[in-house]
Amino acid sequence: MTPPPAATHAQPLRSEAPMTARSEAALPPAAAGEPQTRNRGRLKLPPLEPRIAIAVFAAAMAALPLIPGVPVFAITLIGNIGLAALVALGLVLLTGVGGMTSFGQAAFCGFGAYTTAVLSTTYGWSPWATLPVALLVSGSAAVVLGLLTVRLSGHFLPLGTLAWGISLYYLFGTLDILGRHDGISGIPPFSIAGHDLIDPRTVHYLIWGLVIGAAILTMHLLDSRVGRAIRALRRGQLAGESFGIDAARMKLIVFVYAALLAGLSGWLYAHVTRTVTQTPFGINAGIEYLFMAVLGGAGQIFGAVVGAGLVTVLKEALQRVLPQVFGHGVQLEAVVFGILLVGLLQVAREGVWPHIAALWPARGRPVPPDAPALARRSASAAPAEKLLALDGAVKKYGGLTAVNAVSFAVGRGEIVALIGPNGAGKSTTFNLITGVTRLTTGAVRFEGMDIAGAPPQEIARLGIARTFQHVKLNPEMSVLENVALGAHLRGHAGVLSSMLRLDRRDEARLLAEARRQIERVGLAEHMLKPAGSLALGQQRVVEIARALALDPVLLLLDEPAAGLRHKEKEALAALLRSLRAQGMSVLLVEHDMGFVMGLTDHIVVLDFGTKIAEGPPAAIKTNPQVLEAYLGGVA
Amino acid sequence: MDSTILLFLLQDGITNGAVYALLGIAIVLIFAVTRVIFIPQGELVAFGALTYALLEAGRLPGTVWLTAAFGALAFAFDLAASLSTGIDARKLARSAGFNLALPAALLAVTHEVAGAGFGPGVHILVTLALVTPLGPYIYRVAFQPIASASILALLITAVGVHLALVGLGLVFFGAEGVRAPSLSELTLELGPLLVSGQSLVIYAVTLLAIGALWFFFERALWGKALKATAVNRLGARLVGIRTTFAGALAFGLAALVGALSGILIAPVTTIYYDTGFLIGLKGFVAAIVGALASYPLTAVAALAVGIVEAFSSFVASDLKEVIVFMLIIPVLVWRSLTQPHVEEED
Amino acid sequence: MSVEPGIRPDAVEATVLLDIASASIAYGKVRAVEGASLRVGAGEIVTVIGANGAGKSTLLNAAMGALPLAAGAMTFLGRDVSRLAVEERVALGLSLVPERRELFSTMSVEDNLVLGGFRVARAVARDTLAEVYDRFPRLKERRRQLAGTMSGGERQMLAMGRALMGRPKLLMLDEPSLGLAPRIVADIFRIIADLRASGVSILLVEQNARAALAAADVAHVMELGAVTLSGPAAVLARDERVIESYLGLH
């Protein structure tokens, strides 16, 4: 084998391997290279409210066609940007926020466009009347494809979208009713009171009115209980599910929402261009939309408009310039796009918008004001029962028995510790209780009810809240929002009420509850910081606050004291004691024996998946078997 | 449908399936070693086919310039990286050798060979030599700088590379389609079935290539190193395997396999600069059945894809592509169910 | 802190293998290690003990080159290695057995070992393989078995064997006793002592403070990303703070 070509190591050597924190789930990690800090000291504009920004933008868009001398082709181009921005907006939500990459969005435009084209030509419907049907068709297609593909893990989802994107493209060109390869022409324009909107300057208002409306609704959606749940999913589902979020349903909602925006764009497109063929709904168009979302800044609402603008203008420019230089331009445009896409991911994976946004100072969110407390869980009906009881719990992985016939109980107002060497089955036991893993045999009873086999969302609903051995917070969301996620089940606002801003009272109570829990665990000063900026030990405490926000009956804490300083450990112990005094039960896994011995009422010792002892701390300390297996022979 | 048609479709399907199998294996290879879902594998096939067909037609293929351009770009990347970390003359010289001198030499050789009346054997060798370096060059330019990015970022990059390569195909090969003469004029009569020599060549080469890859991975230290990189990247680095070189090697092998597939299908179908995409995607369907991990499963699935394609083009030729690509959905769903996404947790 | 007789005094500069000075290491914006310093001399066992999440593994990973230094310096055999890639550090004689072992689980035990010698000459690798099999007879018995099917203790031995195949000058072990039965832990520590006797220096990160302090010459305690206590292991083992926080129970 010849020596390798000079392989330099220009990029930091953070392999994707588990040595480092990994974030596979998310597309272009926007966190890379914080533009805010990079731009410090440069030009700063006065603070800008998004509300005002949108109003200014809307006013500018409204004024544009009225300015004398603005050529019609420019208005047409801006209209095309608007059409693309609608699709890109959906992708921003789907890809940038939800972490699902789709190459197939153009197909949903096709559903919208073909639906209205057929209805308004063959059946003579008014373009306005076709809108609900167009949306219904795109939405239904999204539900079907979404049910099939949203559950796909990781990279299988984008491959799936690629496949059905191509499939649908060929299907559009095959069906007789859609005019096969010739498509459908002679589509009527929009008209208002007998007045046709043929002039790009009039239809401009319709397009941009819809874009701005969609942007506002999307912004509202993201800044809500549902939006928080969607944003949290990007960093992994387990944490969200442990607080009652139905991840699959959330993903489907986002998927359908994005498809509806694409369908809306297709509906507009059909009546603006008045001809529909399969070409604009193929996979290349789908790639282009994704390019817009990534270029603008995946996850940024305004990025969708910026990305759509840049790509559309660039495409127009290339279509004018390239044929003059090379004689044939259509595919060369693809070369330029391809190279730009590759380059973009290498130099500015976070996209353009964060750099534009950095011109304005970061808008500090205020600490949420006090609000009426959320309803508490009603007291249990069967107080005599042990709160939690494991009865002969067994978990086998293939031939390996991770948990072997373990039985123990947690009483009300009791702090119980689960100790043992790593690999003894402590985390598996936690996962069995919280529904992450299924029991092989045995039973887990909570308030006398068998909960084995229930999914994490259901367990959370019953009042069991947990923290994780490896912190599972969304590092880019604030501490406040991370904790508010814990109160998810205690709020009620849905997608529609969030978009229409009917959720404010509900939202204020959730945030106030989050604030109270953060103050309770002593992290008030960090409330508005991104969770990822806290020390690891503090992040563990944030997880405790999040768990408390669920209003739990039982807290499961996985190594809560790891990484804490002595003083912080004392504060944590004091907090847990006060919770116990209020009737809360706690089951914890912990290695710090000083912490465990001083705090707990009861200790269960596991070794090789088997319970080797249980009892009060004093008895465990002197138990010869425990000393031998875990604590080490008396030195 | 009588049995003759049935057998004919079956044979047609297996012939195409054999080529898809090669593609699928190359895709699995690249993914396993580098986590790149290499969408442009089909373009390498098209380039291989076009290069071979043009050489057979006595013309100088545009590949010589394409390879030189990519080599120069790869060198520029090495140079830039070298400038930012401190110049290492030895590394840079190696880079110049592989990225600049090699394409220059290939250009000179191809220039001599093109139109000089050599036979298919020489043309095949030249084609393989011209297309194979494209793999490492593409890796160096597009993927190595973001080698540790998420699979999705790598996938989007791969899509960008696909767009660029299709367009470059048009620039360097033009819009006309070409077809190469068959590699074998033989026909074999098997009962009612006539098996063309070209089909036999395809079967034989596919089997040989799979055998050679198997030998490489099971016996050669470098093959084991590639396999190790695929199994555990961090582990591979810890024993001193340079994952960038492993990546370049994987891309080189994939390009070699791609070029070979192109040579095999050039006599079977007319190839245009953009034909590769659909061919490559069928390799993908197979690779996904193999979960982007299993070579044997991928090969078997590729045969199935070929057969489904043959039958659907007979039954409903309009819907051929629709059927083949919709087929992937149940496969993906099945994959998702059997391989639930496990969040890392110890 | 006093220096016990028989323990390498820090003054003997010539024998320093690895020298980490004021290293800070970050994951994104989060600093996991802040200004940590430590040295490993030839023929020495140095241990770093501390709680889960204190930054011990992060420090080892940075020493291996898997994480970049945000600040500070790192030399190996007097050469600045802070910008070298993992693979290049392997070539210089650094080796890491990571906490997760990172074996090639679908490959045979022997293939794992052979790949461990990827960077050394074929003939040397052949001899080393024989040595490793001598040291770990268990691996020889199981050489055709897939690495992923072995027990925890065997995997740890294989990981150590694979690291030794590269003929390292400094072997870094990240939690070698993690998840192992106490009896196996004893075996592992016996092997560590043997290795030192045969001239390999060792940097040992452990949560099992008791065993680590017993095996090591020099010890460092890490808390919240900083080295808070350093000294001869025997002295630290008697230090009140160490006893209270890490040895516990008395």
* Structural domains of chain A ordered from first start: 46-357 (1.10.3470), 476-551 (no CATH)
Q: Quick check: C91 contacting B, CB < 8 Å?
A: yes
Across C30-43, average pLDDT: 88
Distance from C64 to chain B by nearest Cα, in Å?
8
Percent of chain C clearing pLDDT 90 (strictly above): 51
Looking at residue C250, its pLDDT comes to: 36
Tell me which long-range contacts B1-7 makes (C-beta under 8 A, separation of at least 24): B1/B314, B3/B192, B4/B192, B4/B193, B5/B314, B7/B191, B7/B192, B7/B193
Distance from C-alpha of C101 to C-alpha of C158, rounded to nearest angstrom: 9
Distance from B115 to chain A by nearest Cα, in Å?
27
Q: Which residues does A464 contact at the CB level (< 8 Å), separation at least 6?
A: A388, A433, A434, A446, A552, A553, A554, A556
Question: Is A567 or A59 the better-scoring residue by pLDDT?
Answer: A59
Distance from A541 to chain C by nearest Cα, in Å?
14
C165–B240 C-beta distance less than 8 A: no
Question: Is C205 or A30 the better-scoring residue by pLDDT?
Answer: C205
Distance from A435 to chain C by nearest Cα, in Å?
24
Question: Is A16 or C41 the better-scoring residue by pLDDT?
Answer: C41
Assigned token pair, B61: 């293929």
Strand order through the sheet with A602-607? A464-466, A554-558, A585-589, A415-419, A602-607, A610-615
Q: How confident is the model at residue A383 (pLDDT cuts 50, 70, 90)?
A: low
pLDDT (tens digit per residue) in C44-56: 999 999 876 678 8
Range from A34-38, A295-299, A588-592 carrying the lowest mean pLDDT: A34-38
Chain C residues in contact with B228 by the CB 8 A cut-off are: 104, 107, 111, 115
pLDDT (tens digit per residue) in C72-112: 999 999 899 988 889 999 999 999 999 888 999 889 999 99
Q: How confident is the model at residue A50 (pLDDT cuts 50, 70, 90)?
A: confident
Mutate to test the interface with A, among B30, B332, B337 (most CBs of A within 10 A): B332
What is the average pLDDT score of chain A? 85
Percent of chain B clearing pLDDT 70 (strictly above): 97
Q: Which residues does A557 contact at the CB level (< 8 Å), separation at least 6?
A: A466, A467, A544, A547, A586, A587, A588, A589, A590
Looking at residue A381, its pLDDT comes to: 59
- Selected residues 96-115 of chain C with any CB under 8 Å from a CB in chain B: 96, 98, 100, 102-107, 111, 114-115
pLDDT (tens digit per residue) in A116-159: 999 999 999 999 999 999 999 999 999 998 888 777 767 788 88
Distance from A326 to chain B by nearest Cα, in Å?
9
Single-letter amino acid, residue C95: S
A17–C32 C-beta distance less than 8 A: no
Q: How confident is the model at residue A633 (pLDDT cuts 50, 70, 90)?
A: very low
| Of residues A5, A333, A341, nearest to B160 (C-beta) | A341
| Of residues A1, A22, A159, nearest to B37 (C-beta) | A159
Across A203-215, average pLDDT: 95
pLDDT (tens digit per residue) in C4-25: 444 444 444 448 899 999 999 9
A15–C210 C-beta distance less than 8 A: no
Mutate to test the interface with C, among B238, B245, B249, B294 (most CBs of C within 10 A): B238
Mutate to test the interface with C, among A16, A38, A422 (most CBs of C within 10 A): A422
Across B280-286, average pLDDT: 88
Chain B residues in contact with A18 by the CB 8 A cut-off are: 234, 344
Domains of chain B and any CATH numbers: 3-338 (1.10.3470)
Which residues lie across from A394 on neighbouring strands? Answer: A441
Distance from C-alpha of A312 to C-alpha of A50, rounded to nearest angstrom: 24
Distance from C-alpha of C133 to C-alpha of C143, rounded to nearest angstrom: 9
Across B254-275, average pLDDT: 93
| Of residues C107, C116, C118, nearest to B231 (C-beta) | C107
pLDDT (tens digit per residue) in A420-453: 876 678 888 999 999 988 889 999 999 888 998 8
Contact B255, B44 (CB under 8 A): yes
B232–C163 C-beta distance less than 8 A: no
Distance from B229 to chain C by nearest Cα, in Å?
9
What does the radius of gyration of chain C's CA atoms come to, in whole angstroms? 18
Chain A residues in contact with C249 by the CB 8 A cut-off are: 593, 597, 621, 631
Q: Quick check: B4 contacting A, CB < 8 Å?
A: no
Distance from C-alpha of A149 to C-alpha of A159, rounded to nearest angstrom: 10
What does the radius of gyration of chain B's CA atoms come to, in whole angstroms? 20
Across C28-32, average pLDDT: 73
Chain A residues in contact with B166 by the CB 8 A cut-off are: 331, 334, 338
Cα C188 from chain centroid (whole Å): 12
Across A19-30, average pLDDT: 35
Q: Quick check: A624 contacting C, CB < 8 Å?
A: no
Residue C95: helix, strand or coil by DSSP? strand
Contact A434, A464 (CB under 8 A): yes
Contact A141, A108 (CB under 8 A): yes
Q: How confident is the model at residue B151 (pLDDT cuts 50, 70, 90)?
A: confident
Contact A428, A610 (CB under 8 A): no
Helices (H), A33-100: 35-38, 50-63, 72-91
Looking at residue B85, its pLDDT comes to: 73
Chain B residues in contact with C105 by the CB 8 A cut-off are: 231-232
Distance from C-alpha of C223 to C-alpha of A564, rounded to nearest angstrom: 8
Q: How confident is the model at residue A285 (pLDDT cuts 50, 70, 90)?
A: very high
Distance from C-alpha of A49 to C-alpha of A435, rounded to nearest angstrom: 43
Across B329-333, average pLDDT: 78
Residues listed for chain B: 346
Across B95-122, average pLDDT: 93
Looking at residue C170, its pLDDT comes to: 95
A621–C61 C-beta distance less than 8 A: no
| Of residues A12, A597, A635, nearest to C68 (C-beta) | A12
pLDDT (tens digit per residue) in B204-227: 999 999 899 888 988 899 999 998
Q: How confident is the model at residue B293 (pLDDT cuts 50, 70, 90)?
A: confident
Percent of chain A clearing pLDDT 70 (strictly above): 88
What is the average pLDDT score of chain C? 85
Across A380-390, average pLDDT: 75
Distance from A617 to chain C by nearest Cα, in Å?
11
Looking at residue C181, its pLDDT comes to: 60
Q: How confident is the model at residue A471 (pLDDT cuts 50, 70, 90)?
A: confident
C65–A17 C-beta distance less than 8 A: no
B159–A103 C-beta distance less than 8 A: yes
Distance from B11 to chain A by nearest Cα, in Å?
25
Looking at residue A462, its pLDDT comes to: 92
Distance from C-alpha of A411 to C-alpha of A434, rounded to nearest angstrom: 17
- The residue whose two tokens read 């597939």 is B261
A349–B175 C-beta distance less than 8 A: no
Taking CA atoms, what residue in B is nearest to A19? B234
A6–B156 C-beta distance less than 8 A: no
Question: Is B294 or C230 the better-scoring residue by pLDDT?
Answer: C230
Is 70 exceeded by the pLDDT of residue C179?
Answer: no
Distance from C-alpha of A302 to C-alpha of B123, rounded to nearest angstrom: 54
Q: In this structure, what are the phi and psi dihedrals at residue B218, rounded to the nearest 5 degrees?
A: -90, -25
Contact B151, B37 (CB under 8 A): yes
Cα C228-C232-C236 angle, rounded to 5 deg: 55
- Selected residues 454-483 of chain A with any CB under 8 Å from a CB in chain C: 475
C224–A537 C-beta distance less than 8 A: yes
| Of residues A8, A15, A155, nearest to B82 (C-beta) | A8
Distance from C-alpha of A174 to C-alpha of B320, rounded to nearest angstrom: 10
Chain B residues in contact with C64 by the CB 8 A cut-off are: 238
Is 90 exceeded by the pLDDT of residue A513?
Answer: yes
Q: How confident is the model at residue A333 (pLDDT cuts 50, 70, 90)?
A: confident
Q: Quick check: C95 contacting B, CB < 8 Å?
A: yes
Distance from C-alpha of B70 to C-alpha of B134, rounded to nearest angstrom: 7
Q: Which residues does B187 contact at the CB level (< 8 Å), separation at least 6?
A: B194, B195, B196, B197
Chain A residues in contact with B138 by the CB 8 A cut-off are: none
Looking at residue C52, its pLDDT comes to: 66
- Nearest alpha-carbon partner for C33 in C230, C225, C223: C225
Question: Is B142 or A423 the better-scoring residue by pLDDT?
Answer: B142
| Of residues A19, A532, A559, nearest to C66 (C-beta) | A19
| Of residues B231, B232, B239, nearest to C166 (C-beta) | B239
DSSP state of A402: E
Contact A555, C15 (CB under 8 A): no
pLDDT (tens digit per residue) in A178-189: 988 888 999 999
Across C171-189, average pLDDT: 80
Q: How confident is the model at residue B333 (pLDDT cuts 50, 70, 90)?
A: confident
Contact A443, A452 (CB under 8 A): yes
Upper half-sphere CA count for residue A586 (Cβ side, 13 Å): 28
C28–A535 C-beta distance less than 8 A: no
Mutate to test the interface with B, among C87, C92, C128, C178 (most CBs of B within 10 A): C87
Is 60 exceeded by the pLDDT of residue A632?
Answer: no
Looking at residue C54, its pLDDT comes to: 79
Q: Quick check: B226 contacting A, CB < 8 Å?
A: no
| Of residues A15, A18, A532, nearest to C100 (C-beta) | A18
Q: How confident is the model at residue A23 (pLDDT cuts 50, 70, 90)?
A: very low
| Of residues B140, B153, B335, nearest to A345 (C-beta) | B153
Strand A184-185 and strand A275-276: the pairing is antiparallel
DSSP state of C146: B
B98–A5 C-beta distance less than 8 A: yes
Contact B146, A11 (CB under 8 A): yes
Chain A residues in contact with B95 by the CB 8 A cut-off are: 5-6
Cα C197-B237-A101 angle, rounded to 5 deg: 145
Assigned token pair, A400: 């390996």
C245–A594 C-beta distance less than 8 A: yes
Looking at residue C5, its pLDDT comes to: 41
What is the average pLDDT score of chain B? 88
Most confident of A77-81, A608-612, C33-37: A77-81
Range from A14-18, A105-109, A568-572, B258-262 carrying the lowest mean pLDDT: A14-18
